[in-house]
Each structure stands twice: as C-alpha cells, then as structure tokens.
Structure 1
C-alpha cells in the first residue's frame, strides 16, 4: 500500500477528527483555519486515499456487560498457507475477537477477546478456539485493568 504524504493541514484535520469524528465540517474548518469547502475537499481526499478508513463510536464494554478482556496467544501445529488462512478466516468471524495479530515470538497469533465473564470465556474457548484445526497451544492472559486503550494514531511528529 502506497504511503500518503500529509501536510500540516492534513495532520491537523486528522488530529481533530480522531478526537471528535462527529464534528461538523463547519466546526472542523474553523479549528484548522480553512474554508468549509477546502476542508471538505481535504477530508474527502483523505477518505478516498484510504487514510481515513471509517468513523465509529467508542463504547465502554463494562457498561454493556462485557467486562472480561483476555489476550489470547495461539500457537499453530504447522505453518502452511492454507491452514493459517483458515484460522485467520475463522477467528475474524468471531464477534468476541476485537483484534487479531499475526506475531513473531512465543505465539503465532495474539487475539484481544472481550466477553461478559469467565463462564462465557470458557464457552468461547471450548466452542470456538478449541475446535480450530491446527492449534497446538492456547495461552490466556486476563487483563486486570486497562491502562491505555486508544485508536488515536499520532500524526505530524507526535512520535519524535
């Protein structure tokens, strides 16, 4: 995928939109010192180039009964393209899995799973994870408390 060059105005637009995706174009334009038409064109270009991939609401999982967060390490028996692709397809279909990463190190995949409680997690393991073909080992790490959870990507030198 091609890298998109962002100027200072694009960076500022992205910073504001990551904080408030529901901001009106008028308000966004005022915050970044652009005309509404120019601001709209820039946001549209960022969407069309794939820099902005969507907009969503952030939820508090514990407020809706999903208070158990588990980081699950999966290790495979064999590493073939077909078996790996099938596991990726299956795991991606599970609503309990919020994130799935193919990783290096002690596991092949790390999943971020959210469920109501331990009973639900046990059911998730038995009915979904343990039924996957080619899994050699499953290791569960239960989150005690959340220290940082953000989808905000630093733009414009924020990582230096």
Structure 2
C-alpha cells in the first residue's frame, strides 16, 4: 500500500467528482504541471487505488424508472456452485450488480426495470428460475444520493 499525501487525496476527490477531467485541467486546479499530475494518476492506478473510470448512466432517462435491491438466498447450497449462480444471474441484462454477501441472504442484486410490473416479470421469469434461487427480499429504491466517500 502506498502512502497518500494531500495532493493524492485531492486528485482522488476531484476524479471521483468528475473522472472526465484531463490531467492538465486537474493540474491547474491543484497547482501542478500536467506531467506531474499524470505521473501521480498513473502511480495511483498502478498501485490499484484507481481501478478504472466508469460511465454512470441515468437509468431513469433510459426508461428504467424502478431500481430494486434484491436479497437472494440460495435454496440448495452445495448442490449448485456459487460460480454457476453468479454466471447465470450476470447474464440477465436488468441485473446491474451482483454482490456475494455475508448475512441473511447470500447475494445482493441491483435490478433495474421499466416499472413494477416489468420488475415482477424479471423476478418471476428470470431471477426465480435461476438454478439454486431460493428466498428473496426486495427493497425498492426511493432516492439516491452520491456521497464522496472516505477520501473526500
């Protein structure tokens, strides 16, 4: 693990806010040259602190007005491999994230749907028919705030 100084933390905070910034623009904000900023970004990437930059799509603007967090408990542990379940659930386009968790449920899924009846269709026809799928618990997202995290 590398030591982060205040400039590294400022770089991370700025990139977390807007990952599209160029090294030159970011350097101007932080009083660094473009090459110095780029070297710091590259060092953070090489160290695995920056894992990538992603495009965040607005699901609602794309017609997916409902987001549901779904807890899934596997029905027959040991009879189905976790990898088989993960591979099958990952193939469902409406499933945005698959997280293997410790607790009451084995998996937490983030599922998007056009509306509640569309979610019901995805749940009944796709998720509940997966090998090993057992009990589920659904939590419908009402609102979401993006917090800067521990670096900010």
Establish whether TM, by shorter chain, passes 0.5. yes
- Partner of residue 92 from structure 2, selected from 78, 90, 94: 94
| TM-score in terms of structure 2 length | 0.87
Runs (4+) of structure 1 exceeding 6 A deviation are: none
**TM-score, normalization: structure 1?**
0.83
State the match for 1:83 in structure 2: 81
- The change in CA–CA distance for 1:46 and 1:86 in structure 2 (over 3 A counts) is same
Q: Given the alignment, which residue of 123, 141, 149 partners 1:153?
A: 149
Q: Distance in 2 between matches of 1:81 and 1:133?
A: 9
**1:81: how far off?**
8.8
Q: Equivalents in 1 of 2:54, 2:103: separation in Å?
A: 32
Following superposition, the deviation at residue 36 of structure 1 comes to 1.2
- Kindly indicate whether residue 128 of structure 2 is the aligned counterpart of residue 130 of structure 1: yes
Q: What residue is the counterpart of 1:70 in the other structure?
A: 68
Residue segments in structure 2 that go unaligned for 5+ positions in a row: none
C-alpha distance in 1 between matches for 2:106 and 2:65: 26
**How far did 1:23 drift?**
1.2
Q: Secondary structure at the match of 2:145?
A: coil
CA distance, structure 2, for counterparts of residue 142 and residue 28 of structure 1: 37
Distance across 2 between alignment mates of 1:110 and 1:52: 24
Which blocks of at least 5 consecutive residues in structure 1 are unaligned? none
> Does residue 1:37 correspond to 2:7, yes or no?
no
Deviations 1:62-107 (A, max 9, x none): 1221101111111112333952121112222322122222222221
Within the candidate set 48, 57, 60, 2:58 is matched to: 60
Shift of 1:22: 1.3
RMSD: 2.0
2:7 corresponds to? 9
Deviation at residue 123 of structure 1 after TM alignment: 2.1
Alpha-carbon distance in 2 for matches of 1:57, 1:39: 22
